[in-house]
Amino acid sequence: MSINVLVVDDSKITRSVIKKTIKIAGIDFNKIFEAENGKEALEVLGNEWIDLIFTDINMPIMGGAEMIEKLGDDGLLKTIPVIVVSTERSQTRIEQLQKCGVKAYVKKPFHPEEIKKIVDDIIGRD
């Protein structure tokens, strides 16, 4: 089953790295959408079917935490698994995000094998 992925990060380079990592990891995707911040991500989510979200936390206009909060307020959107990809190392912040429904927290830098394992665990593949 191919999935639609949304990559949310204010850095174009980071978005490219995550997209390339998804491809290298052999994750079966249909299409990868991009957004520069949480506000753009919500616009994409309003127009496209998304199965999985990768997001940074610290972004201008609307950060990842605020976006995740808004997802939680929407009956359908709150069911989309979210993986946070960030340099932030605060255990308190990670725990807060997990309480908001974040499925995984990946610290930058990361490896394709790590991303593949997390995605497989989340979408139920071996």
Contacts 24+ apart (CB under 8 A), 43-47: 44/6, 45/6, 45/71, 45/77, 45/80
Instruction: Tell me the residue type at 2.
Output: S
Which of 80, 83, 17 minimizes the C-alpha distance to 55?
A: 83
Percent share of the chain, pLDDT over 70 = 98
pLDDT digits (tens, 9 = 90+) for 39-58: 999 999 999 999 999 999 99
Q: Reply yes or no on domain 3-123 having CATH 3.40.50.2300.
A: yes
Using CA atoms, how far residue 41 sits from 15, 30, 71, 75, 103, in Å, is: 13, 18, 10, 17, 18
pLDDT of residue 126: 45
Per-residue burial over 117-126, b if 16 or more Cβ lie within 10 Å, else e, is: ebbeebeeee
So where are the chain's domains?
3-123
Calpha distance 111→45 (Å, rounded):
27
Output the average pLDDT for the chain. Answer: 91
pLDDT of residue 125: 57
